[in-house]
Amino acid sequence: MSTGGKTVDSGSEPEPTELDSIDVFWLPGEGCDGCSVSTLGATDPPIEDLLRGQVPHLPRIDLHHHELAVESGTAYVDGMREAVAGESGPYIVVVEGSVPNERLIDGDGYWVSMGKDENGDPIKMVDWLDRLAPGAAAVVAIGTCAAWGGVPAAQGNVTDAMGTMDYLGRDYRSELDLPVINVPGCAPVGDNFIETVAHLLLHVAGFGPAPELDELGRPKWLFGETVHRNCNRGAYYEEGDFAEEYGSEKCLVSKGCWGPTVKCNMPSRRNLEGVGGCMNMGGKCIGCTMPGFPDKFTPFFKKPPGSKVSTVSSSILGGIMSRLRRKSMKNLDTSTRWEEPGLTERMYQWQLKRGSNYDPERGLERRPGAGTGDD
């Protein structure tokens, strides 16, 4: 695995253990809860299977979520206090929403809090992150806000919002020697997140290697390809056939799609249970999984830099290729029995007549796969 341009050891694989359950502490930052909704929609496997421990070799997860928890008040944060004190087993921290800079506040007040201390004062979300991160088996940032800062960190950023990796530092390593694991998206594909957590659980339980991550902590098998490479409109780009209006099935690069430069598996995995996804539903890619989102991609209806050169050059070369393909298609779309034989075929038939196996009563037998035209 590499991070910050350097290759690092992602930790030796732990020995298999009889781990019945593992705590997952969900820390809410500055966000819209869309990542939670996306997680609830996952189906491969559904989060319910993880909560009930129904996935083979995976320990059951005890989810401490601010909106889904049965407990409230002091009882809700008791589990986190025990984890900080080292009185619980291995645990995973999930951050949803960007991390605010609480140091900007001079005096009383806070941006985001969760629970209260012994004196009845609110405990800031960043304080929980500071306490839990050092002992966590892994820290996972779900969604673009938690990964890179996202919308709260856009221009105007009054809370100095940032991503989890920016807050903890690029050199941060968990108990299993893992950096912050980023599963970006606004909102992310729920199955991407659940699959990453499942991979982590296998690793924590000692049944699998650590997830393979890129230099920014993204799972390589999920974010190793661009949108364009898996887009169902990609063939139109190759042939220089671009959409002239929204609603067209053709390539949307001419309309400002960022797919050729954005890392995301939305076109192939789709949004929910194999259905939906931006390009699959007629929309274009606006780069929501990338660190520069949204500022580097706005205004969303403006064409990306270089798109004119890209579309013109593709139109020229693609126009030639599409004509050649249409000619080949016309040729292949005809049975050999429907065509007049070309020069090569006539020579072959003449040689058949000279052979001893030629039967004038049957006529000439065409060669299997014989070509057409004067080839």
User: So what's the pLDDT on residue 341?
Assistant: 67
Banded pLDDT at 75 (limits 50, 70, 90): confident
Contact between 187 and 34 under an 8 Å Cβ cutoff? The reply is yes
Terminal CA-CA length for the chain: 53
Measured CA distances, 212 to 163, 248, 266, 305, 318 (Å): 20, 37, 19, 32, 36
User: So what's the pLDDT on residue 8?
Assistant: 42
User: So what's the pLDDT on residue 92?
Assistant: 97
- Comparing 67-81, 189-203, 357-371, which segment has the lowest mean pLDDT? 357-371
User: So what's the pLDDT on residue 38?
Assistant: 95
Tell which wins on pLDDT, 207 or 125: 125
> In the predicted model, is pLDDT for residue 32 greater than 90?
yes
Contact between 219 and 212 under an 8 Å Cβ cutoff? The reply is yes
Task: For residue range 322-347, list pLDDT tens digits in order.
Answer: 788 787 777 777 776 666 766 766 77
What domains can be seen in the chain, in order of their start residue? Answer: 2-221 (3.40.50.700), 225-363 (4.10.480.10)
> In the predicted model, is pLDDT for residue 25 greater than 60?
yes
Task: For residue range 230-264, list pLDDT tens digits in order.
Answer: 998 888 888 888 888 888 999 998 888 999 999 99
> In the predicted model, is pLDDT for residue 146 greater than 50?
yes
User: So what's the pLDDT on residue 14?
Assistant: 56
Q: What is the dihedral of CA 293, 296, 301, 304, to 10 degrees?
A: -120
Give percent of the chain above pLDDT 90: 54
User: So what's the pLDDT on residue 374?
Assistant: 45
Task: For residue range 159-200, list pLDDT tens digits in order.
Answer: 999 999 999 999 999 999 999 999 999 999 999 999 999 999
Whole-number Å distance between alpha carbons of 264 and 290 = 9
Total-model pTM: 0.80
Phi then psi for residue 192, to 5 deg, are: -60, -45
